[in-house]
Amino acid sequence: CYDQASCGCCLMQRQMNRTETYFNKSVEGMHRLLSESKKKLTDMRSRSAFSVALNNDSALTCFGPFNEDRLIVYKHVFLNLGGGYMVSTGVFTAPLSGVYSFALTIYGKAPNNNTLAVCASLRVNGTVVTGPTEKGMYDREDSATTVVAVKLKAGDEVDVVLPAGCFVCDNSSHFNTFTGFLLYATD
């Protein structure tokens, strides 16, 4: 510096450069945090999982048999992440397009010496995908389980139907469960 005025300008210029560098780093950091937050929010919205049981009664109660197919409405909710399962209807609606895994376990106990027919049908948009069945003749209790991976579009509906002549029984031990979760999202 040759004089006081130019020395003050040099100091001010250096301070402005430091302030500009600090500001730019702060903006870059905020952009990074915003991107990370948006990704986490997107990840949270893409989470979808539910697990429900027929009921939570203390006594064993049965649903069916009926003369026609009936939609099974699972009343006891263990988990409904993403809100896709509607307790009022018994229907899971896929929030996102993707590959989903579904597991269905059914159980029944025949009163006295009645014929036992434990069966159910897992459906996607009204079309049967799979259906565990156990029709034992020599015992009073039967159960069956099926697990399937299905590619769904956002808005597709998945439910479980009790076929005519079949029944399922449950209590707080949760013998009858319906579970589903998003494995991965697709376009």
- pLDDT tens-digit series, residues 38-82: 776 666 566 899 999 999 999 999 898 899 999 999 999 999 999
Dihedral (Cα; 128, 68, 90, 58), 10-degree rounding: -120
Between the two ends of the chain, the Cα-to-Cα distance in Å is 64
What sign has the CA pseudo-torsion 93, 126, 124, 54? positive
Closest CA to 75 of 158, 4, 156, 170: 170
pLDDT above 90 covers what percent of the chain? 55
| DSSP 8-state assignment for residue 69 | -
What is the structure's pLDDT at 35? 82
148 phi, psi to nearest 5 deg = -145, 150
Q: What is the pLDDT of residues 142-156, one digit of tens each?
A: 888 999 999 999 999
Neighbours of 180 (CB within 10 A): 23
Question: What's phi and psi for 152, nearest 5 deg?
Answer: -120, 155
